[in-house]
A and B are shown apart, each in its own frame.
Chain A
Amino acid sequence: MSQIALKGVTKSFGGVSVIHGVDLDIETGELVVFVGPSGCGKSTLLRLISGLDQPSAGAIEIDGRDVTRVSAADRGLAMVFQSYALYPHMTVRQNLSFGLENTRMAKAEVTGRVAEAARMLNIEPLLDRRPTQLSGGQRQRVAIGRAIVRNPTAFLLDEPLSNLDAELRVSMRAELAALHARLGTTMIYVTHDQIEAMTLASRIVVLRAGRVEQVARPLDLFNRPANLFVAGFIGAPSMNLFPTRAEGGTAALPGGRRVPMAGVPEGSEVTIGLRPQHLRLAQGNEPGFDLRIALIEALGTETVVHGELAGTSGDTPRRVFAILPGQPGVALGDILRLGFDEAYLHRFGPDGQRLVGPGRP
């Protein structure tokens, strides 16, 4: 049985609809990441689950109980805010114990839980400081600690790492993953950073404009994006998408190579996707397409090539990304012939949905 279930949840603010009927089941112990471009409604959805906002329609269930009209405090959830929202006038210890004292918990148990959380997060030396005397990473720990002490049925984390610098973000990400493994508590995590999403998630929910585009395990999302949006959103640099036309069971790619395209009406507009990682320098007479290099990003272990399809320079040259392993001797303005394996192709029908067919898992 799913622990948190959303059933046809919609939300509108003053007539503007921002969540359009979301159905979602979250299993116990999962770490589910909501990801999507800004304004897609991921934070709003989290606030609906937390109870800080009420859905306009639909129901939210936790542990099989309908909590749609239950107040935020009584849902048994804990939230970590993007700004941490630590009480600036209280010490770290008071910040941690505030929520417990409000439930009239016995003093001894409050002390015990605070000590336990502080030990787990290595913030014991900070307990008597105020939030203003802490660094960003320490504040982040305290914010998580404030959630942990409540022993919630699920954690809700709203972009918890976005205020940290890059280095700290990587280490906190690892700590969060370890914490989740240790506590085994359900977590819902909102981010716009797909690396966070890919590394942390048990399952990823991709949202766009208030709708769920796809729910899948991270690698499934990468390997089998359900539609053009997910294909373009997941992966960096993003997938190369080539619009073309299905003719006689095949479709032509730039450069003239035809690939099988089954299951769509003759003559329909289809899109073929190819990840930059799956392009390689063509060997010998291998068919492929020619790319004029516009920009080279040499990262050492790999080289990202931004190029334009040769021969399309006239009106709108199509941008193509390719990631070549190692440090190939290429220069700006060179024309490269790139090849690929058909197994790596992603095929999308006229409606933008993924076509079932040959495709690598």
Chain B
Amino acid sequence: MSAVTSFLTRRRGQGRRWHWTDVVTWAWLAAGVVLMFGPALWLVASSFKGPAQLAEFPPTLLPYVQQTAQVEGHDEPLPLYTVTREDGTEVVLAEIRRIGTNSQMVDPANPEERINVNIADREPVREVGFATENYVAPLVANNFLRFLWNSVFVTAVATAITLLTNSMAAFALSKYDFRGRNAVMLLIVATLMVPLSVILVPLYAVVNATGLLDSLWGVILPTVATPTGVFLLRQYMLTIPDELLEAARMDHASEWQIYWRIVLPLTAPALAVLAIFSVVWRWNDFLWPLIVLSRRELYTLQVGLNTYAGELNVQWHYILAMTVVTMIPVVLIFVFLQRFITAGIAGAGIK
């Protein structure tokens, strides 16, 4: 604790008084922390709020639930309110039902007597609590586990195929000298400039013609050849000395063995980076799966989330909760593998 305190109150020089730059720095960094973490933390906090609380204005930071009490003569627990009486004293009562602007209430200590209170005179009794049914209901009842599995399948298979095909293309483009090699490379990189929305319609036609519509393979296959991946791996493979390949050639290795046993293991750092990128891309894909998939049992998480946003009614509490679930793998990847990501980006010299 003292280490944290000394870290937070660290100043210019040693043990001197606060300089104005210390104050500015501290405020600047604190504002940065709020700016970066605020939305994410608010999302997590809000995912535990019930629908009524989400609609409240002004909004609260923390999730609250209304306290209830078991009152004799009633099967269900009744919500508790603080009621301000005419003489100004406050008392905690349980609400039985509401009629117009009046509320019929009862004192839990004295369940026989009914009290009529104007709703303007009562305030709900609340404590910090978590609406865990936001998570339980979609995961159990709404097939979200199925969506989760679909997302995992799409992400894992697409990433595996991406690594294989892109590394093969990169191997050919970096280690074989053939006519038009640079033209091919340029063509591949040029496709980076074509956004998905431009090729959406022709791509749909192709997927439809090949019978992949409404199947997970229709989501996976069009995405596996990524120009970024080919470029990243090629730049890395260029740094592998050709003498290694020649040594392998002298060692009776076939071209496939050179690729599989020499080049691929040596490209591992770049493959790790591409794997991380690919997982994040495929996991977050929304538009393409939305177009390809129409059967509910094939939905990925991102498409599944979309089902909570109807035309007339948006179930914010479910969307928020499932957004948190969707974020977890990506966050974990960045927490544990950020070392590789920064190293790989620096190594490949691209953004």
Nearest-Cβ distance from residue A95 to partner chain B, whole angstroms = 9
Pick the interface stretch among A76-84, A190-198, A270-278, A348-356: A76-84
The yes or no answer to A89 lying at the interface (CB within 8 A) is: yes
The yes or no answer to B115 lying at the interface (CB within 8 A) is: no
Report yes or no: B266 in contact with A89, Cβ–Cβ below 8 A: yes
Provide the main secondary structure of the chain A interface: loop
Nearest-Cβ distance from residue A160 to partner chain B, whole angstroms = 13
Mark contacts of A267-309 with chain B using CB atoms, 8 A cut-off: 1 yes-contact digit, 0 otherwise: 0000000000000000000000000000000000000000000
B residues within 8 A CB of A77?
250
Report yes or no: A52 in contact with B253, Cβ–Cβ below 8 A: no
Q: How many A-B residue pairs have CB under 8 A?
A: 55
A residues within 8 A CB of B252?
73, 99, 102-103
Report yes or no: A87 in contact with B262, Cβ–Cβ below 8 A: yes
Contact check: which of B249, B251, B257, B262 meets A52 at CB < 8 Å?
B249
Q: For the complex, give the distance between the alpha carbons of A87 and B244 in Å.
A: 7
Report yes or no: B249 in contact with A72, Cβ–Cβ below 8 A: yes
**Number of B positions contacting A (CB below 8 A):** 18
A residues within 8 A CB of B254?
102
Report yes or no: A102 in contact with B247, Cβ–Cβ below 8 A: no
Q: For the complex, give the distance between the alpha carbons of A89 and B268 in Å.
A: 10
Report yes or no: A99 in contact with B251, Cβ–Cβ below 8 A: yes
Mark contacts of A61-102 with chain B using CB atoms, 8 A cut-off: 1 yes-contact digit, 0 otherwise: 000000000011100011101110111110000000011001
The yes or no answer to B76 lying at the interface (CB within 8 A) is: no
Report yes or no: B251 in contact with A102, Cβ–Cβ below 8 A: yes
Q: Write the chain A residue with the least CB distance to B252.
A: A102
The yes or no answer to B246 lying at the interface (CB within 8 A) is: yes
The yes or no answer to B243 lying at the interface (CB within 8 A) is: yes
The yes or no answer to B265 lying at the interface (CB within 8 A) is: yes
The yes or no answer to A50 lying at the interface (CB within 8 A) is: yes
Report yes or no: B247 in contact with A79, Cβ–Cβ below 8 A: yes
Knowing A52-B246, A89-B265 are in contact, say whether A98-B241 is a contact too (CB < 8 A): no
The yes or no answer to B212 lying at the interface (CB within 8 A) is: no
Q: Which of B243, B252, B253, B266 is the most central at the interface, judged by chain A CB atoms within 10 Å of its CB?
A: B252
Q: For the complex, give the distance between the alpha carbons of A150 and B247 in Å.
A: 12
Contact check: which of B243, B250, B253 meets A78 at CB < 8 Å?
B250
Nearest-Cβ distance from residue A152 to partner chain B, whole angstroms = 9
The yes or no answer to B248 lying at the interface (CB within 8 A) is: yes
Nearest-Cβ distance from residue A101 to partner chain B, whole angstroms = 9
Report yes or no: B257 in contact with A79, Cβ–Cβ below 8 A: no
Q: For the complex, give the distance between the alpha carbons of A52 and B257 in Å.
A: 17
Mark contacts of B230-268 with chain A using CB atoms, 8 A cut-off: 1 yes-contact digit, 0 otherwise: 000000000001011011111111100100011001101
Which residues in B have some Cβ–Cβ distance to A below 8 Å? 241, 243-244, 246-254, 257, 261-262, 265-266, 268
6 A-B pairs within 8 Å (CB atoms) are namely A52-B250, A72-B246, A85-B246, A85-B247, A87-B244, A89-B266
